Amino acid sequence: MIGRLIGRVVAQEPDGALVLDVGGVGYELAAPLGTLGRAQVDDAGRVTLWVHTHVREDALALFGFADEVERAAFRALLGVSNVGPKIAVAVLGALPAAELARAVARRDLGALTAVSGIGRKIAERLLLELRDRLPALAVPSAGTAAARAAAAAHAPVLGAERLRAALTGMGFRPAEADRAVSSLGDRAASASFEDLLREALALLAK
């Protein structure tokens, strides 16, 4: 089994699939949108990806993640009834591990049904079955004053992270994504994600 790869990205598809060159060998990996924007990159431009090796009777597929937490979240998703790698990748492309954990803790059905390919029944199953399966992440209990304060404090960060992930997933370089996010400033805490993405794309088109 392959657990981690360090190499240079030599090809990337709009859906997040990529080819990582490791010592002259090209590994094809599927990855959630935004993974490369969150992954560790060394001074030589090599990316570190944590890998899940998915084995079936007719195929062997590799899935890459920015860190061990996101890989663990992917594996937790695979443990949910009728959830396969394609759905798990889609969920983490829209809701990175920390956001997914918060959505499950808040029982936020809307956050899950907003993911492409996720209907209400699957979303309800995710909320039910992920409750005890997600990696241990610091998520205050919903409804408490501490939870509301934490949500307010994290809102700008979460909005910026989601926007940055979306932009890198669309093919923009991390530096370009960072520039667009920085230009939006405090709006990341108040504007809708759709508006932020539209404004960021307009900024990058100039």
* pLDDT 10s digits, 17-61: 899 999 999 999 999 988 988 899 988 889 999 999 988 777 789
pLDDT of the residue at 181: 84
**Would you state the structure tokens that stand for residue 7, as one six-digit string?**
């190499």
145 pLDDT exceeds 60?
A: no
Does residue 157 surpass a pLDDT of 50? no
CATH 1.10.150.20 domain range(s) in the chain: 69-129
- Residues with Cβ within 8 Å of 90's Cβ and at least 6 positions away in sequence, in order, are 32, 115, 116, 117, 118
CATH of region 4-66, choose from 3.40.640.10, 2.60.40.1180, 2.40.50.140, 3.40.50.720: 2.40.50.140
Q: How far apart are CA 47 and CA 19, in angstroms?
A: 11
Q: How far is CA 128 from CA 49, 76, 153, 154, in A?
A: 29, 12, 27, 25
Protein fold of 69-129:
DNA polymerase; domain 1 (1.10.150)
Give the residue carrying structure tokens 């093919």.
171
Asked if the model's pLDDT at residue 154 lies above 50, the reply is: no
- pTM (predicted TM-score): 0.65
Residues of the chain with CATH 2.40.50.140: 4-66
CA separation for the pair 42, 81 (Å, rounded):
38
pLDDT per residue as tens digits for the range 177-194: 888 888 887 776 667 766
Query: Residue 156: its pLDDT value, please?
Result: 44
pLDDT in tens, 99-110: 898 889 889 999
Tell me what the pLDDT averaged over the chain comes to.
Answer: 81
